Structure 1
Amino acid sequence: MRSDTTPAGDRDLTAIWDATRSRVTSLVTEHALDTDGAAGGDAAVATVPGATVRDVVGHLIGVATKAAEAPDALRGEAITPPSTGAAPRGAAVADLLAAWTSAADQLSALVASDSMPAVVLITDAVMCEHDLRATFDVPGCRDDAAVKVALDELAGRFSDRVAAAGLPPLRVTVEQWGTIIGSGPATSCLVADRFEFVRGMAGRRSAAEIGRWNWGTDPAPYLPVIAEVALPEQEVRERDPRIPAHMRDREFVL
Structure 2
Amino acid sequence: MAKNDSGKTERIEYDLAEIYRGIRTRVTDLIASASQESLERVAPATPEWSALGVLAHMVGSTADVIEGRLDGVASDDWTQQQVDLRSTASVEQLLEEWGRFSPQVEPLIDSFPRRMQGMFIVDATTHEQDLRGALNAPGARDSDAVVYSFDQLSFGIGRQRGDAGALKIIHEAGERVVGEGEATATLRATRFEIIRAAVGRRSTAQIASWDWEGTALPESVVIGMFAPTRSTDLVE
TM-score (normalizing by structure 1): 0.74
Q: Which residue of 2 aligns with 1:185?
A: 182
In structure 1, distance between residues paired with 2:180 and 2:75: 22
How many aligned positions are there? 224
Equivalent position SS for 2:46? coil
- State yes or no: 1:128 paired with 2:124: no
From 195, 203, 227, the equivalent of 1:206 is 203
Contact 2:198–2:226 at 8 Å: present in 1 too?
no
Contact 2:61–2:82 at 8 Å: present in 1 too?
no
Q: Which residue of 1 aligns with 2:28?
A: 25
Q: Which residue of 2 aligns with 1:145?
A: 144
Which piece of structure 1 moves more, 166-175 or 19-28?
A: 166-175
Question: In the TM superposition, what are the counterparts of 1:93-172 in structure 2 within 5 Å?
Answer: 93-111=91-109, 114-116=110-112, 117=114, 118-163=117-162, 166-172=163-169
Cα separation, partners in 2 of 1:86 and 1:66, compared to 1, 3 Å: closer
Cα separation, partners in 2 of 1:107 and 1:9, compared to 1, 3 Å: same
Contact 1:171–1:178 at 8 Å: present in 2 too?
yes
Q: CA RMSD in A?
A: 3.1
Counterpart AA for 1:20: I
Contact 1:162–1:222 at 8 Å: present in 2 too?
no
Deviations 1:162-206 (A, max 9, x none): 33xx43321111122322222111122111122111211122111
Q: Which residue of 1 aligns with 2:172?
A: 175
In the alignment, structure 1 segments of 5+ residues that lack a partner are: 239-254
Equivalent position SS for 1:187? strand
Equivalent position SS for 1:216? strand
Equivalent position SS for 2:186? strand
Contact 2:51–2:135 at 8 Å: present in 1 too?
no
TM-superposed CA distance for 1:21, in Å, is 1.2
Q: Which residue of 2 aligns with 1:11?
A: 14
Q: Which residue of 2 aligns with 1:52?
A: 50
Cα separation, partners in 2 of 1:157 and 1:65, compared to 1, 3 Å: farther
Deviations 1:84-120 (A, max 9, x none): 6751244433333322222211112213xx3125444
Cα separation, partners in 2 of 1:184 and 1:23, compared to 1, 3 Å: same
In structure 1, distance between residues paired with 2:213 and 2:136: 33
In structure 2, distance between residues paired with 1:96 and 1:129: 15
TM-score (normalizing by structure 2): 0.79
Name the one with the larger helix percent. Answer: 2
In structure 1, distance between residues paired with 2:95 and 2:159: 35
